Amino acid sequence: MEIEKNNNKELVPLEHYLEEYAKASPEEMSSRTGMPYDAEKQQFEVTFFGRKYAVAWPEFSATCLDDAYGFDALEKMNPAKILVVRFLLEGATANGTGKFLTYREVPWGELYYRQFNGRCMMRLAYGFGNKLDAFKKAMEAMHAQPVKAGDAAYQAEVFPGYFVQFLLWEGDEEFAPSSQILFSDNFPAGFHAEDLVVVCDVLITILKNLQ
């Protein structure tokens, strides 16, 4: 697997999780997460932000199985690789009730809220709050579903059954643009609060590359 070498803060944890991944049971990971595993091919089929991947085990590599849209986060971003490996190692399939949570409502969300606000909500607001057409174009390229909220809002699927909603309010001469980010209420079953910062960071990067 090709790993970006330019960010040691990402590289060190990625290498740690890859070591744990190589020692883990693929059958157990498949059973817990619902990701199909082919023992003969030694690979999972993972759906991540609307793209299907063949993910090899024990040596992690990811091969995209479709051309759903034009930016492959799992190929280009170490944080995306970390998300997939961590989900296989620690996540679980879980059904949501249809309700959505703010970040503060997620366990430990209050502790990480400052980081989340800066890296995700502010980045979303100032990256797209005055470019709603670009936001809509990028979300629709991902086949995200429109949501009736704000001036523009969409729902994207991270892993099967795990949904994140991006809500935008357009800025003008009097008011700065603003945003809200919501998570389907099953997220605490599969993710820690700090993971959700990475989820949104990856999604915003995808959108910036699709606009």
Give the CATH number of domain 100-210; options: 3.30.310, 1.10.10, 2.60.40, 3.40.50.
3.30.310
pLDDT at residue 9 in the model: 65
Q: What is the pLDDT of residues 68-95, one digit of tens each?
A: 788 999 999 999 999 999 999 999 999 9
For 157-172, what is each residue's pLDDT tens digit? 999 999 999 999 998 8
Start and end residues for every CATH 3.30.310 domain found in the chain: 100-210
What integer best gives the mean pLDDT of the chain?
93
pLDDT-flagged residues of the chain (< 50): 1-5
3-state secondary structure of 41: coil
**Angle between helix 132-141 and 193-210 (nearest 10):** 100
Distance of CA 157 to the CA centre of its chain: 8
CA 13, CA 42: separation in Å to the nearest integer? 24
